[in-house]
Structures are given as C-alpha cells and as structure tokens.
Amino acid sequence: GGGGGGLLLLILVTSLLKHLKHANIVLLHDIIHTRETLTFVFEYVQTDLAQYMTQHPGGLHSHNVRIFMFQLLRALSYIHGRRILHRDLKPHNLLISYLGELKLADFGLARSKSIPAQNFSSEVVTLWYRPPDVLMGSIHYSTALDMWGAGCIFIEMLQGAPAFAGGSDELEQLQNIWTVLGVPSEDSWPGVSLLPYYRPGELTCRCPHAEGT
C-alpha cells in the first residue's frame, strides 16, 4: 500500500544520506524514531539559493557565480562518483550559509543505481529544470539529468531569472526550450525521434498531459 511505499522511500533516503559525507552536501546529524514519527536532524544552514537570488536581484556577481558553481559541481561529482543521481536540482534545494558555503540538499527523489540508469520514472525534476529528453518521456537517463539542472541554475544565477521559466506542463516547457535552442532533428540530436512522446514536424512533442491540444 501507500504507507509501505512511503516507508520504503524513507529507508532508501536514510541509507543514501548516512553515507554522504562531503563539505557541499547537507549533513545528516541524527535520526529520531518514535512510534508515530521519524525525524531527520540536519545541520542548520541559513538560507537557500532561491532566497539568496531574491535578495540580490538582477543576477549575481560573477565571482559569486563561480564560487557557487564550483561547489555545486563538486557535490555532483561526489554523488555521481558513488552512482547516485539527485534528480531534483533547483535553487530551493541548494542551501547557502553565511560563509558562502553551498550545500546540496533534499534527496527525496535521489536514487542509487547503476549509471546509466534504466527504467526510471520520467516524472522527476521540477518542470523548469527538467531536460528535454525526460520531458519527452525518456526513462533511460544518467548523470546528464543533473547536469542539465546545473546548467539551468548557472544561467539563472547570471541573468537573475530562470533559463526556461513559465512552463505549466511538459508541452509548454518544451516550447520554451525550443524557442531558445531551436527545434531538434535527427541531424542535430540523433535518436530524438525514438523518444516516446516525440511527434515529428511539430514544435513540440506528444506528452501525456498535452493530449487533445
């Protein structure tokens, strides 16, 4: 049932976090288990990147962008080297301390599996940071899933606004991406026509939430 699935997810996340010891990953101090609750005690970090960018509108100073990106890529290198995908990179999941330390957090969607991964869900990653192959239904993905999110965050820090904002569903999100990057073809993206929701000759794809449009 749903309760069993939730418990299994908690066990999985706990197992992942207990083995992640890195300066740029939020530290799990303790787990407090009672009859009714399971409480995770993490290190205290003052804010996150989303709030930090709100406090510094118009884009961050290039020096700070370099520092934050270096720390983000260090964290990703660490988890990818241990065959873990975060699967939900976005500014809200990057904690920032008063000292300028970046901490990768919120591993609720993270998975440990062989990389490249097979047969995962395409319902991962907050929509604005989801790569186009996953938007088109791919369930075979690897570390590139997280790297697309990192690239989107890099652009957002530079320009002060999300790279591909405004998408309310997969179809609209793909339109936003194609407007900037161009519509892919087999010449520019070999294999794109094999993705489950790809529809040739159109600006977008045949995504489940866009049926009938």
Q: Which residue type, as a one-letter code, is found at position 124?
A: V
Question: Is 88 one of the catalytic residues?
Answer: yes
Place of tokens 């969607």: 109
Catalytic residue among 30, 48, 88, 146: 88
**CB neighbour burial string for 45-75, b if at least 16 within 10 angstroms, e if fewer:** beebbbebbeeeeebbeeeebeebbebbeeb
Rounded to the nearest 10 degrees, the angle between the axes of helix 62-81 and helix 144-159 is 170
Measured between its terminal Cα atoms, the distance across the chain in Å is 34
**Contact of 95 with 48, CB cutoff 8 Å:** yes
CA separation (Å) from 205 to 49, 126, 130, 177, 190?
A: 32, 19, 15, 12, 16
Residues known to be catalytic: 88
